[in-house]
Structure 1
């Protein structure tokens, strides 16, 4: 008895589903697990976990925080770059903040990317004993941004100016001859017609605090920092550890990797391996 065409088509589709389920849902994953168990690859497949005295202390491939009992940066250790993964360095929630350079205005429930960068730079400057100022940041570590109101909307004389990220004393007294007001909580000055205007200020064009020290990576779990950020931390580490700066710089160089294939990416310093080398020192 010949089956109806619609039934034969459904049976063919079911057979294809079963075949590909076995191949791609069972056989292929098992093959990849087997490849991951090959000598030389097994450590990477397990996440390049690092064990010290029988205790897992981290992974060479996943960034982590190095803090004291109160959650503050431990001054004896090199610090990683910031993380936007979950509540920070959460390998189950790897992600970026998805905030861009135009994210400059704070809201009641979230600090803008600019303010986050400004606050981090100021905090790192205090930790490392350097100038933490950056362009477009106020002295108190928020985004230096004004809402400028013009008589004719986007043009014409300035009639009102508000420092949108400050409820206290504005970072500048006047703008274009108009007194700058402090912001009011919950007020959306852009919706009211203000033109959002970042103010560069007099910070150096090349800040003392490197960019990777104040911005999270795309994964939020970058295990490396730039040689520049590592160099910034050398004096503090040497002081806290009772070592010479030359000895600490040598450890940094030993844990610095170059560009992939000699031209891809940038040199990096693995923070976990560097801190382990410090402990061994």
Structure 2
């Protein structure tokens, strides 16, 4: 059951989208951008399009999932190739890595919007993101990228509730994010590391740990899963299976982060550290 307050926020979102006139949505296929795209398609119809970045810094299978979701929503869908690893300074993994990435992405997205005759570009930032460390938000501001979900006052949990109401398959999809975020700031990003992380998280998901992270620390991987999954992970057969999978990938040591994975602003395994080191 949707509360009256949430209905008001939904109405506010539709009004914001209607004022936009036409919209190109930066679309990852995750819960936030899928809901934004579906809402925009409902309001603006064929004046809505989606654009997805196909890149080696994104988990394998994400582009294919985005293509499937966009097709179900019924909008024009473009694929771009940002080539983040070729950006000056990106591979050094500085604290403004996300800014460098998003600046490049929004520059290309803005250019595509102009080619398609779309008045605006929007991304799926929500209210919860505003209290989080998001260097990429600066790039969105610089390129005039709209944040309709945040402007409507929508939180992540509310987006999931509205997505479920709309019948979107992404309503409960865990956030995935960029693979580079699994590498500590200051540690160089390499193709090998990205591949190891991607393969490791794929192994975790295949074993049933959908909301997971494989944090890369050289020869050591630090696995993050929810605390409610600890018992299953520590069953002898499962722990042996996961350890073998990561060692086959190339890790010498496989560890489980005992703080667990707790998504959300200001929470999770970085909570006792400098928040800028959230990765």
TM-score, normalised to structure 2's length?
0.22
Q: In proportion to residue count, which structure has more helix?
A: 2
TM-score, normalised to structure 1's length?
0.22
